[in-house]
A = this chain, B = another copy of it.
């Protein structure tokens, strides 16, 4: 071990931890882990927790990951470049995620899910197994993507599909197997019981269509709030933002 690994950390000799990776105090890294160059793993984490699924494969973190304290990642998932997490996230096996994923504090990813590029989940989001999440999706606090149409069941699990650019606002619940169409917006505290059409705003319990999301205006009446790519660009790659400026002027 070299000084990039805190002396109190416990790192398996079989783990691939490049020399420019920082590993914080009291962090445990199992053998079945490959950490990308330039990553930071904060204190009190567990990487590569053994999975109950046989032959899950390694935990692979792309370059430049930032894993904040008290987080737990199982073996058997792969993340692209620039993964960033809040504190105490839990990520089970079987996830394939693109680049630029941001996972908020306390999030609970149950594993066996597919996630596109530049997805951002705020705090305390629950992603059920078999979820399929596109790219540039936003998921706000306490949202739950369910997967069991009549719990408990076996053989009937059906994940939620969330298409590109969707916004799921605080504390909404999406019932199993539903499709949330591209650029749609689910309002806070909604219960989604039917598929959501593209570009639509839905709200309520159960959620009903409120019309086109583009009818929601920004607070200064400078234009529509949605699609949000009109006005919100913070942290996205400049090539992506250039494309948005053309597609959503």
Contacts and interface: CB of A to CB of B under 8 A. Distances in A.
B43 A69 contact: no
Contacts of A24: 28
A173 interface: yes
Contacts of A87: 72, 90
B188 A167 contact: no
Nearest to A106: B108
30 contacts: A25-B26, A25-B28, A26-B26, A44-B44, A88-B90, A90-B105, A105-B108, A106-B106, A106-B108, A108-B123, A110-B123, A120-B152, A138-B152, A141-B144, A141-B146, A144-B171, A146-B170, A146-B188, A150-B218, A150-B225, A150-B226, A151-B169, A153-B219, A154-B232, A154-B234, A156-B220, A170-B173, A171-B171, A173-B188, A173-B189
Interface of A: 6, 8, 10, 24-26, 28, 43-44, 46, 49, 69-70, 72, 86-88, 90, 105-106, 108, 110, 120, 123-124, 126, 138, 140-142, 144, 146, 149-154, 156, 158, 167, 169-171, 173, 175, 188-189, 191, 204-205, 216, 218-220, 225-226, 228, 231-232, 234
